[in-house]
Amino acid sequence: MAKKRASITDLARELHISASTVSRALNGHPAISEATVKRVKALAKELGYQPNSLASGLRRGRSNMLGVVVPHIDGHFFSQVVKGIEAAASKAGYQVLICQSNEDVEHERANLETLMNAQVEGIMVSISRTTRETRHFEKVRKRDIPLVFFDRILEGYDVNAVVLDDRAGGYRATRHLLEQGYRRIAHFSGPQHLNIYKHRRQGYEEALREYNLPVREELIIMGDMKMEDGSAGMQQLLALPEPPDAVFSGSDFSAAGALEVLEARGLRVPQDIGLVGFSNELFSRLTAPQLTSIDQHCELMGRSATRLLLQLLDEREPHAAPRHVVLQPDLFVRASSLRTGLAG
Amino acid sequence: MAKKRASITDLARELHISASTVSRALNGHPAISEATVKRVKALAKELGYQPNSLASGLRRGRSNMLGVVVPHIDGHFFSQVVKGIEAAASKAGYQVLICQSNEDVEHERANLETLMNAQVEGIMVSISRTTRETRHFEKVRKRDIPLVFFDRILEGYDVNAVVLDDRAGGYRATRHLLEQGYRRIAHFSGPQHLNIYKHRRQGYEEALREYNLPVREELIIMGDMKMEDGSAGMQQLLALPEPPDAVFSGSDFSAAGALEVLEARGLRVPQDIGLVGFSNELFSRLTAPQLTSIDQHCELMGRSATRLLLQLLDEREPHAAPRHVVLQPDLFVRASSLRTGLAG
DNA sequence: AAGCGAAGTGCAAACGTTTGCATCCTGACA
DNA sequence: TGTCAGGATGCAAACGTTTGCACTTCGCTT
């Protein structure tokens, strides 16, 4: 009844052959005879042999594990990305170790240590909101552990990355509002050291300029993109002498917050005020009215990041030029921004 | 420039002491002198030494990893549970390996193999919707790998588990509707081999009986609890000669689907029809009207499961009687079920 | 008949830690 | 001075795999 798990040596002893032969038989080494392979595999099955991946990892200097650091895992976006990562990784025979930084640099630093400790072969990161410097990533690089960033990256830090074309997203969202006839369009944005919020804002401004409209300071509200921030921002906007006739929010959450305020004030969406969010969260179909939003192809992003990482692992060229993959966003038009649709 | 990571042996060589001493110094073994400890730690820091957890895992027969198998990771519930697991595990010095079964038994079986391969010390599982038998779990048990189920368990399979008191949840949801004056209450339920849906239904029936109301077959709709199922179910209900005046849905998603249909038909919630969901998904605050729902304390569930697992690991009594932890749900009352609130 | 190549297998070292036991040293006590 | 205790360290084996190299056998070729 001793529950010791069968090892390669056990198989070898039982079959009166050497451990090397067993190992090779199991791994499909060509030099082993048909017959032996059969015997080994049969016994392995019988004893329920499972390779010890710690041992093989140790010996081969590989762990078959990839690490992921995300700010958090709740909400649609990151959980979908992780899903994509998982799918791509497991197809390639890798395990995935997932860590959450909780939007905190210190946590992020600790996560990286943890992952390196666990001997992961590569790491994918989406930086936390409080990350402003890159020392902890340099440590990873020094160890020659391939590193791929996704979605959120640090401005001016040249790295391998898979990102969304946030500028295009911001542009298309805003342009859609303009085409619907809205002219005084406000924008909710987040911390500007994060590429995503900065680029969404730039896209917004670009669209305005294209329509020869001024970019007004008072219509751009900086916040943390949570629901509360959206509510507060909306109230601030409504208090203006000339309130906006539409809002492009850099996040669905703050858009939802804005929606609550509008409803409470008895303002109609999209008639009185148009609204567009960002991320195409699950709930954007459930609000009343349904929320127009930008889809980020989260799962694809996860798969792309993993594919890029696997490529790097494959090539093993320590310091090749960093590669960028840019995904194009999609605009999902729903009721919250459809003014003409109602008229027509 | 060889990027070989410093090992214990490297430290030992450099300091002209033995590897054992270095190991002991780093692990706080009492027999090592103050002075040596200092020297070792200093050099370790200088060289950026990171212990190789594969090696130490191999030697000590421990991996410091826990495995988790969930049906999926999107949506509020499981991602929050995972968050709780992660938090509790990392506080205890464990890594977490997360696998998704995609609601498929075969995947689930493969996930378990994978985790055992990775030498996890214990496994937490919430079974997939298509899991109806337990052979693959027996294999884990045979290896004496502690196993804890959470939320979803197989009826009649006696195991360590952390579950919600779903019966109480169903009861309280239904009772709340009754107290609001609704009398013809329908119910959306899911696959009955899953404890959660079965118990929610039982709680629903219990509340009806308490009010001396009949349990009507035609008012109980079985489905897959997705949004579409909710829409379809609602249409089916509205087509009845005597449609219900309220619905208790076993999931927020199908509740949302029902809401869409109701809105399209011009039926007012909660005046014409009351609605209660289950899970307290993030979006339940965002629907119009906001959705009354049952909160499952997801994060707590994750923490509890982990704590239980760690206990089992600690005790190492192979076949102690399985333990159950039952969490109490909370009812979050919102507009979708507040008929009297409007009158008052 | 010697030599050769190929196929199949085994030996032993290595990966980086941990740990039981042995060893050495120093100082104290009888 | 001899003995002993205790503190500090080292030795070597072990965890389960993988892998370069050597070895045996056997059937062929020259």
DSSP one-letter string for B220-269: EEE---SHHHHHHHHHHHHTSSS--SEEEESSHHHHHHHHHHHHHHT--T
**What integer pLDDT is reported at residue A242 of this predicted model?**
94
Q: What is the pLDDT, as a whole number, of residue B1? A: 35
pLDDT score for A318 = 62
Q: pLDDT category, B144, cuts 50, 70, 90?
A: confident
Q: Are strands A95-100 and A185-189 parallel, antiparallel or unpaired?
A: unpaired
Map residue B89 onto helix, strand or coil.
helix
In a domain, A279, yes or no: yes
Whether the CB of A139 is below 8 Å from some CB of chain B: the reply is yes
pLDDT at A81: 95
Task: Determine the pLDDT at residue B35.
Answer: 92
Residues A128 and A152 in one domain: yes
CA gap A9, B29 in Å, rounded: 33
The answer to whether residue A3 is domain-embedded is no
φ/ψ of residue B15, rounded to 5 = -95, 0
Q: What is the pLDDT of residues A297-343, one digit of tens each?
A: 999 999 999 999 999 998 876 667 889 999 999 999 999 999 876 54
CB of B60 within 8 A of CB of A58?
no
Q: Which residues of chain B make contact with A231, given a CB cutoff of 8 A?
A: none
Domain carrying residue B75: 65-164+298-326
Q: Note the pLDDT tens digit of each residue in B41-54.
A: 999 999 989 999 99
Same structural domain for residues B203 and B309? no
* A153 burial via Cβ count (<10 Å: 0-12, 13-18, 19+): buried
Q: Decide if pLDDT at B67 tops 90.
A: yes
Compute CA distances A76 → A61, B97, B182, B334, whole Å. 36, 20, 34, 23
In which band, very low, low, confident or very high, does the pLDDT at A344 lie, cut at 50, 70 and 90?
Answer: very low
pLDDT band at B143 (very low <50, low <70, confident <90, very high): confident
- Can you tell me the distance from the alpha carbon of B28 to that of B34, in angstroms, rounded to the nearest whole number? 10
Average confidence score pLDDT of chain A: 92
Judgement on whether residues B156 and B302 belong to the same structural domain of the protein: yes
B252-265 tens-digit pLDDT? 999 999 999 998 99
Co-location of B187 and B230 in the same domain: yes
* B24 CB below 7 A from strand D atoms: yes
What's B199's domain CATH number? 3.40.50.2300
Clarify whether residues A171 and A267 are in a common domain: yes
What are the chain A neighbours of B97 within 8 Å (beta carbons)? 95-97
> Same structural domain for residues B203 and B287?
yes
Average pLDDT over residues B224-241: 96
User: Residue range B192-218: average pLDDT?
Assistant: 96
Same domain membership, residue B109 and residue B27 = no
Positions 7-26 of A with beta carbon below 7 A from strand C are 16-21, 24
Q: How far is A198 from chain B (nearest CA, A)?
A: 27
CB B95 to CB A118 under 8 A?
A: yes
pTM above 0.85, yes or no: yes
* Residue A173 belongs to a domain: yes
Assign A164 to helix, strand or coil. strand
Q: Encoding tokens for residue A29? A: 């080494």
| Residues 6 or more apart whose Cβ sits within 8 Å of residue B318 | A3, B144
- DSSP per residue over A262-277, as a string? HHHHT--TTTT-EEE-
Distance A330 CA to D6 C1' (A): 74
Of A52, A75, A142, which has the smallest distance from its Cβ to B119's Cβ? Answer: A52
Identify whether B199 is part of a domain: yes
User: Which uninterrupted H or E stretch holds A147?
Assistant: strand A147-150
Strand order in the sheet with A274-276: A220-222, A185-189, A246-249, A274-276
pLDDT given at position A164: 96
Structure tokens at B309: 């697992």
Within a domain: A343 = no
Whether residue B342 is contained in a domain is answered as no
Buried b (16+ CB within 10 A) or exposed e, B151-168: bbbbeeeebbbbbbbbbb
Question: Chain B contact for A75, CB < 8 A?
Answer: yes
Q: What is the pLDDT of residues A159-187, one digit of tens each?
A: 999 999 999 999 999 999 999 999 999 99
The pLDDT assigned to B2 comes to: 41
- A124 and A236 together in one domain: no
Share of chain A above pLDDT 70, in %: 97
- Interchain contact, B144 vs A286, CB within 8 Å: no
CA distance A82 to A303: 9
pLDDT of amino acid B343: 44
Co-location of B191 and B277 in the same domain: yes
Distance, CA of A99 to CA of A108 (rounded, Å): 8
Q: What is the pLDDT of residues B280-311, one digit of tens each?
A: 998 888 888 899 999 999 999 999 999 999 99
**CA–CA dist B254, B228 (Å, integer):** 7
Q: Do residue B230 and residue B87 come from a single domain?
A: no
* A59 found inside a domain: no
- Is residue A226's pLDDT more than 70? yes
Distance of alpha carbon B312 from alpha carbon B186, whole angstroms: 42
DSSP alpha helix (H) spans, chain B: 8-15, 19-26, 34-47, 53-60, 76-91, 105-117, 135-142, 166-179, 195-210, 227-238, 252-265, 298-315, 339-343
The stretch A262-280 carries a mean pLDDT of: 94
Six token digits for residue B263? 């809105």
* CATH code at position B16: 1.10.260.40
Q: What's the number of domains chain B is made of?
A: 3
Degrees to nearest 5, angle at CA A133 with A127 and A135: 100
Same domain, B157 and B174: no
- Tell me, yes or no, whether A276 and A307 share the same domain: no
**Distance measured from the CA of protein residue A23 to the C1' of nucleotide C9, in angstroms:** 12
Asked if residue A86 is part of any domain, the answer here is: yes
